[in-house]
Amino acid sequence: NAGVTQTPKFRVLKTGQSMTLLCAQDMNHEYMYWYRQDPGMGLRLIHYSVGEGTTAKGEVPDGYNVSRLKKQNFLLGLESAAPSQTSVYFCASSYRSGRGYEQYFGPGTRLTVT
């Protein structure tokens, strides 16, 4: 099993450009999440999904959109990239709600917006 994979691993964008980050999981997990990690701030939830076809906003959703057309994939889109979106992006998934079901994380995508 590959677990949670993210594509691409690195990307440099110019201000105003758009891009999509792909997250895939092969564990048949219902829940998927997108976080961003900035220096000194820990991880912050951008958007999440509790099942195929459903998405919800997290703590810092502005400037991002997501889609969950297939259970195994969760896409994060930046329509018009800004330097403030320079960050490391992590995707995660979990089996279901309830006690003890930890989230499994992908390796991260380092995005730089110039």
Partner 1 sequence: AQKITQTQPGMFVQEKEAVTLDCTYDTSDQSYGLFWYKQPSSGEMIFLIYQGSYDEQNATEGRYSLNFQKARKSANLVISASQLGDSAMYFCAMREAEIFGNEKLTFGTGTRLTIIP
22 vs 50, beta carbon nearer partner 1: 50
Q: C-beta of 113: minimal distance to partner 1 in Å?
A: 19
Contact positions vs partner 1 (CB under 8 A) = 31, 33, 40-45, 48, 50, 58-59, 88, 90, 92, 94, 97-108
55 vs 94, beta carbon nearer partner 1: 94
Q: C-beta of 59: minimal distance to partner 1 in Å?
A: 8
Q: C-beta of 16: minimal distance to partner 1 in Å?
A: 28
Q: What is the DSSP string of the chain?
A: ---EEEE-SEEEE-TT--EEEEEEESS--SEEEEEEE-TTS-EEEEEEEEETTEEEE-SS-TT-EEE-SSTTEEEEEESS--GGG-EEEEEEEES-SSTT-PPEE---EEEEE-
